[in-house]
Structure 1
Amino acid sequence: MEAAHISSPLKHEKGGWTSFPFIIGAVMGLTLASGGWSANLIVFLISEYNIKSIAATQINNVILGCNNLFPIAGAIIADSFFGSFSVVAVFAFISLLGVILLTLTSTIHSLRPPLCAVGSYACQTPSHLQYGVLYRALSLASLGVGGTRFTIATMGADQFDQPNHQAIFFNWYFLTLYLGSIISYTAIIYIQDNISWSLGFGICVIANAISLAVFLLGKRFYRPSKPKGSPFMSIARVVVAAIRKRKMLSGNCQGLDYYHGDTSTKFQVRTPTENFRFLNFAAIRTEDENQPSWKLCTLEELEDLKILIKIMPLWSTSIFLSTTIAIFNSLTILQALTMDRHLGPHFKVPPGSFLVFNLVATALSIFIIDRFLLPAWKNLICQTLTPLQRIGIGHVINILAMVASALIESRRLHVVETHNSNGTPGSSIVPMSGLWLVLPLAIVGVGEGFHFPGQVALYYQEFPSSLRSTSTAMISLLIGIGFYLGTAITNLVRRSTGWLPNNNINDGRLDNVFWLSAVIGVVNFGYYLVCAKLFKYQNVEKHDDHDHGEVSSIAH
C-alpha cells in the first residue's frame, strides 16, 4: 500500500508507477461491473425470469464456474499468442457487450416473461428466444471476466522490475478487488432490488465502459509484453513425446542421451528420476533431434511434469471443499429470500448482499491470521504453521460451517411449521431474522482465510518454477470445478429426493442438504489427511521464512 510514496523515475520510460493508475482504475471498473451482474444473479433469474429457485441456483453455479475457469484460458491465450494488453482490451469489450445485453433484458419487456409472484406455481416460463438472449448475455459477460481478471494482474506486475514494487502492486490489486466486490454486493444489489434492475445493470455498463476507456488511454504508458509461450504447452509436449516414443525401448533407459536444452539453465539433474519412468522416453534424444519438439522435451520439462503429478492428489482434495462452499452460497441466498431481512423499520437487506458477510469475514480473518496468529504460533512453539496445516484447519472449519448451516435451517423449518400451524399456511416468508445466516457465512469466511492462502503458499512453493506465475490460478480452477460439481450434486439431490423443491424451499429439507455437505466434508478431510501424510515437500527450506508474508491477500 505504498504506491503514493514511490516516485516515478525522471525518465519517461514505459511501465512502472506511471501505468499504475490506468491499470488499477480498469480493475476497479471491471470488478464493479462483474460483481454487479453476478452477485445478484439468482434473485434476477427468480424474480425477472420466473425460473424456479433450484434451477436458478444451478444456472448461477454454472456461470460462476465459468467465471473461474475462463481465466485459465485467458492466461494461456495471453502468454502464448497475443500478449496481455490485447487480451484484456478485447475481453473487456466482450464484457461490455454482455452487460449491455443484460441491461436490455431488464429493460425490454418482450425479452423476459410476465412478472409473477415468487414461489407461485402458475408463472409463465421464458420462451426459447428469451432463454437464448439471456444465455448469450451471460456467456459474453462471463467470457469478459475470464479474459480480464487475472490477465490484467499479470500485466500490472510486468510493469515493474523490482519484486517489492510487484508486491505493492498486488496488494493494491487485491484491495481494489475487495473494495469493488463489496460495493457491488451492497450498493449495486440494493439498487437492483429496490429501484430497478435496469438502473443496476446500467451502472455496470457505465463502470465497464469507463474501465475500458481508462485502460486504453494508458496504452502509451504500458511496457509491452510479448507472448512468451505457455508452460502448459511444455507439459503437453512431454506427454505427446512420451507416447510417440513409447516403443523406442523395451528395457531400461540407462546410458541413453537425454536432452538438457539450454546449457545455461540452472537445472542440475543429469538423468531422469525413477518415478513415473514411462515418461522418461520423452527426453531421449536421437541423432537428428537438436531442439524441443512434439517428439522431444528437455529433462527440466520432464521433471516439472513429474512434480505436478505428485502434487495433483493433494490439489484434488480441495475440489470437494470448493463444492460444499458453492452449494452453501447458492442455498444461503434462497434461505435469505424466505426470511425477515429488515434492519430497523425502513431498511431491508437484499438477499444477494448476505454474501458480503462471507467476503468481510475472509478479509478480516486473513489479516488476523497473517498479522497475529501466525507470529504468535511461531513464538509459542518455535515453528511456523505450514501450508498443509493451514489447509487442514480450513477443512475442519468448513465442516463446522456446514453443521451450523444445517442446525440453523432446522430451526428455520421449525419456525415454518409453527407459522403455518398458526393460520398462515403457504406463506413463503418466515418470521425469522435473516441475520441468523451471518453465523455460518462468517465461519465459512474464516475457513477460507485459512485454506485459500494455505493453498496459494503450497502451490507457489511446490510448483515448478516455469509454472510459478500460474500457480495461484489453480485456486480459480478449483473454485470453477467446485461450482460445476455443486450443480451436479444439487441436480442429483433434486431428482432423487424431495429435499429441494423447485417452487418453495419451505416445503423441502435444506437442512439435509447441509448435513450431506458436512458428510462430504468429513470424507474429503479423511482423503486430505491421507494425501498430506504421503506428500513430501520439494522446497521445504522455504517454509521457515517465506510462509505468510506474500500470500496473505490472495483468497478471492
Structure 2
Amino acid sequence: MDMQSGQNSKGDSMLAQVFVDWRDKPCSPKKHGGMRAAVFVLAIQAFEIMAIAAVGNNLITYVFNEMHFPLSKSANIVTNFVGTVFLLSLLGGFLSDSYLGSFWTMLIFGIVELSGFVLLSIQAHLPQLRPPPCNMISKEDHCMEANGFKATIFFLALYLVALGSGCLKPNMIAHGADQFGNDDPDQSKKLSTYFNTAYFSFSVGELIALTVLVWVQTRSGMDVGFGVSAAAMAVGLVILICGAFFYRNKPPQGSIFTPIARV
C-alpha cells in the first residue's frame, strides 16, 4: 500500500513538473494557474483583436486614398496581409512548442506587432512619408502612387503587424488553456468556461474595433486610429506581463525535426 502511494506521489510530482513558473521552477496549484491567471490572457486577446481588427477594417481605404495604390492593387495588398497573418500562425506555434514557450512567444511578437502599429501611425501622421494628397476618384487628378522609401515604410509596418499578430494568435488560446489541469474534474469545467469566455472576449474586442475605433479613424484621421490601435496593443502587453507571476508555463519541447533527423 505504501509502495503504491509512493508511486502515485511520484507520478503526481512528475505531472506537476510539466508546468513551471516564471523562474522555471515547478508551479504550485495554489499560486499558479486557474481562472485568475487566464484572465490576463483573455485581456490581451481582447485588446489584440481590438487593435488589428480596427486596422484591417479600414486598411483598404488607407491604401487607396492615402498611399494611392489602384483599387485592384489595394484589395490585393489587404488580401495578402490577412493571408500572411493566418499563415504565420504556423510559425508562432512552432516557435512556442519548440523553443520559446507560449508566454515568451506572445511577449516577443506582441512587441513586434506594437512596433508595426506605431510605424503605421507615424507614416499616417507625417506627410513626407506619404504621396502628395489628391483625389483618387477624380479622373482629373493624376495621383502619384507610393514608391521607394515611402512604400518600403508602409510594407515594413504592415508586415510587422502581420508577423506579430500571426505568431501571437495561436498562443493566446493555448496559453490560457494551459492554466487548467486535466487531472481534476473541477479544472475541466473551468477550462470549458474559459473557452466560452475567450470567445466572448474575442467578440467584445471585435465589436469595439468595428464601432468605436473605426469611428475614431473616420472622425480624427487614420494616424489617430493607428495610434489608438497601438495604445490598445500596449495595454494588452502590460496586462500580459502583469500576469507573469501567476502563469503555469509549459516548457518548450525542442525542435520537432530532431526526432525525424535521428530516424
Give TM-score scaled by structure 1 length: 0.40
Partner of residue 261, structure 2: 294
CA distance in 2, matches of 1:15, 1:222: 5
Q: CA deviation at 1:295?
A: 5.2
Q: Deviations over 1:128-175 (max 9, x none)?
A: 111000000001111111121121110000000133222211111111
Partner of residue 192, structure 2: 167
1:293–1:11 Cα change, 3 Å: closer
CA distance in 1, matches of 2:136, 2:188: 53
Partner of residue 40, structure 1: 58
CA distance in 1, matches of 2:250, 2:147: 46
Which one of the candidate residues 165, 189, 194 is aligned to 1:145?
165
Partner of residue 184, structure 2: none
CA distance in 1, matches of 2:33, 2:262: 39
Q: Aligned-residue CA RMSD in angstroms?
A: 1.8
Which one of the candidate residues 79, 86, 101 is aligned to 1:68?
86
Q: Deviations over 1:280-305 (max 9, x none)?
A: xxxxxxxxxxxx55253xxxxxxxxx
Q: CA deviation at 1:124?
A: 1.3
Q: Deviations over 1:502-522 (max 9, x none)?
A: xxxxxxxxxxxxxxxxxxxxx
Partner of residue 132, structure 1: 152
Which one of the candidate residues 217, 228, 232 is aligned to 1:207?
232
**Where do 1:358-377 residues align within 5 Å?**
none
2:127 maps to 1:109:
yes
Q: CA deviation at 1:90?
A: 0.2
Q: CA deviation at 1:229?
A: 4.6
Q: Deviations over 1:510-545 (max 9, x none)?
A: xxxxxxxxxxxxxxxxxxxxxxxxxxxxxxxxxxxx
CA distance in 2, matches of 1:293, 1:75: 18
Q: CA deviation at 1:193?
A: 1.9
Amino acid at match of 2:261: W
2:177 maps to 1:157:
yes
**Where do 1:3-402 residues align within 5 Å?**
12-121=30-139, 122-161=142-181, 162-229=187-254, 233=256, 293-294=260-261, 296=263
Question: 5+ residue gaps in structure 1?
Answer: 1-9, 238-291, 297-556
CA distance in 1, matches of 2:191, 2:29: 20
Q: CA deviation at 1:221?
A: 0.6
Hey, which bits of structure 1, 4+ residues long, moved more than 2 A? 118-121, 292-296
- Structure showing greater relative contact order (alpha-carbon pairs closer than 8 Å, 6 or more residues apart): 2
Amino acid at match of 1:160: F
Q: CA deviation at 1:12?
A: 3.6
Q: CA deviation at 1:195?
A: 2.2
Q: CA deviation at 1:182?
A: 2.0
Partner of residue 472, structure 1: none
CA distance in 2, matches of 1:78, 1:39: 29
CA distance in 1, matches of 2:262, 2:175: 32
CA distance in 2, matches of 1:115, 1:173: 42
Question: 5+ residue gaps in structure 2?
Answer: 1-27, 182-186
Amino acid at match of 1:294: A
Q: Is the 8 A contact 2:35 2:194 kept in 1?
A: no
**Where do 1:416-435 residues align within 5 Å?**
none
Amino acid at match of 1:21: V
Q: Which moved more, 1:68-77 or 1:116-125?
A: 116-125
Aligned residue-pair number: 229
Partner of residue 3, structure 2: none
CA distance in 1, matches of 2:237, 2:143: 39
Partner of residue 252, structure 1: none
Q: Deviations over 1:57-109 (max 9, x none)?
A: 00000000011111111011100111001100000100110000000011001
Q: CA deviation at 1:38?
A: 1.4
Q: Deviations over 1:334-374 (max 9, x none)?
A: xxxxxxxxxxxxxxxxxxxxxxxxxxxxxxxxxxxxxxxxx
Between the two proteins, what is the percent identity of the paired residues? 27
CA distance in 2, matches of 1:106, 1:295: 51
Partner of residue 19, structure 2: none
Amino acid at match of 2:242: L
Give TM-score scaled by structure 2 length: 0.82
Q: Deviations over 1:370-417 (max 9, x none)?
A: xxxxxxxxxxxxxxxxxxxxxxxxxxxxxxxxxxxxxxxxxxxxxxxx
Q: CA deviation at 1:120?
A: 3.2
Q: Which moved more, 1:176-185 or 1:54-63?
A: 176-185
Amino acid at match of 1:112: R
Amino acid at match of 1:203: V
CA distance in 2, matches of 1:150, 1:125: 35
Amino acid at match of 2:248: R
